[in-house]
Structure 1
Amino acid sequence: MTFVRKFYISDTHFLHANILAMQPRPFRDIESHDEHLVAQWNLVVGPEDIVHHLGDFAFSLTEKADRIRWIFSRLNGRKHLCFGNHDLRHGELHPTIAGLPWASRPEGFRFTEDEGQKVVLSHYAQRSWQWEGKGGWHFYGHAHGRLPGIGRSRDVGVDLPDVLFTPCTFRELTKGIK
């Protein structure tokens, strides 16, 4: 039996060519971006590991649905989604995202425990969260590093300098935070 690890990541924006100009993502084109993210993901995540993706998994959800399914199928781990704004269409989960074989139903919020700590997960930063006053943590995405965490909260987006386009563990993400 293998040891199961948990990882966290947000804002992969697979197939979102404009993200390269909007964020500091050092790739020549979206294909090299996507291939790098898949390689980095599979470098650390094993087939049985758990990955909490905190939203904005992909873009071009209708036009490139087959390619999104292909990318998803190549990513190791049992994947859970806290959906983000780019995972929705008219306020509902986009059919392409909903049709992916997530390990559980995508939700706006998720709750987990890691390293004996309670963690609140969402795409959007919360200024207050469950267990905040009792040592709980909050991981979020969406802000692309423009909204610093407060207390025991932090952005886990792929484009943060300490994330480097790679899913990270709780210990990696909380290092240096009291």
Structure 2
Amino acid sequence: MSFTQKFYTADHHFGHALMLSETACARPFASTKEMDECLIDCWNSVVRKDDLVFHLGDFSMGLGDAARVESVFRRLNGRKRLVLGNHDYAKANVIHPTLAGLAWDAPPAAAMETIDEGERVYLSHYAARTWPGQHKGSFHFFGHSHGRLAPFGRSRDVGVDCPDTGYAPRTFKQLVSGMDLEPIVAEEAESFAP
């Protein structure tokens, strides 16, 4: 087996026409089919078969078309783990059965943690003002904001709509390049408290 890399991404919204609208993300595609094909190509251009991809929510829309969603999932390289986003549920606290039935590398969860490049990384769909290990230098990756929420310390959006992701999953090193890598120390964090 070749060296395995970890990648992070979010907010593909496969099949979601709203992503093309000027009132949403204004993705530059003529159709959802064109968007989906580009997103698949971008993913597969960086992710190899044995790599691990953490998808931080809102994988697909149109979850009633299980065959389409499964086809997209199968075409994506790598082992995939899902951190649940707001569009990944059928109803409150119930994962959509289409997503639950996919061959994820681990059961989908509301949040996850991993170690990458020796660093602790907290993963969630939503941005958090504080996160586990923040005062000890941990990182926080999130989605949901479609590139519209500025990084905060060691926290950032990793979604496909961020200008530096190029619609593709990115590695830890790529995502933290240019970030303020100074941890928020407890004394500074207290100044944020009410």
TM-score (ref. length: structure 1):
0.98
CA drift at 1:17? 1.1
Aligned residue identity for 1:5: Q
CA distance in 1, matches of 2:20, 2:88: 18
Runs of 4 or more consecutive aligned structure 1 residues displaced over 6 Å after TM superposition: none
Aligned residue identity for 1:13: H
Query: Alignment length, in residue pairs?
Result: 177
Partner in structure 2 of residue 78 of structure 1: 79
SS of 2:17's equivalent in the other structure is coil
CA deviations on 1:8-54 (whole Å, 9 max, x unpaired) are 00000001011110103111110010000101111100000000000
CA deviations on 1:86-108 (whole Å, 9 max, x unpaired) are 11011110000000000000000
CA distance in 2, matches of 1:20, 1:157: 15
SS of 1:18's equivalent in the other structure is helix
TM-score (ref. length: structure 2):
0.90
Partner in structure 1 of residue 90 of structure 2: 89
Kindly report which structure 2 residues correspond to 1:127-146, keeping only aligned pairs within 5 A, or say none: 127-146=129-148
SS of 1:112's equivalent in the other structure is strand
CA RMSD of aligned residues (A): 0.7
CA distance in 1, matches of 2:134, 2:20: 34
Aligned residue identity for 2:82: L
CA distance in 1, matches of 2:81, 2:123: 11
SS of 1:154's equivalent in the other structure is strand
Tell me which of 57, 60, 68 is aligned to 1:58: 60
Long gaps (5+) in structure 1: none
Structure exhibiting the larger radius of gyration computed from Cα positions: 2
Kindly report which structure 2 residues correspond to 1:10-21, keeping only aligned pairs within 5 A, or say none: 10-21=10-21
Aligned residue identity for 2:18: N
Tell me which of 39, 49, 52 is aligned to 2:51: 49
Partner in structure 1 of residue 38 of structure 2: 36
Partner in structure 1 of residue 186 of structure 2: none
Partner in structure 1 of residue 105 of structure 2: 103
CA distance in 1, matches of 2:60, 2:110: 16
CA distance in 1, matches of 2:149, 2:167: 18
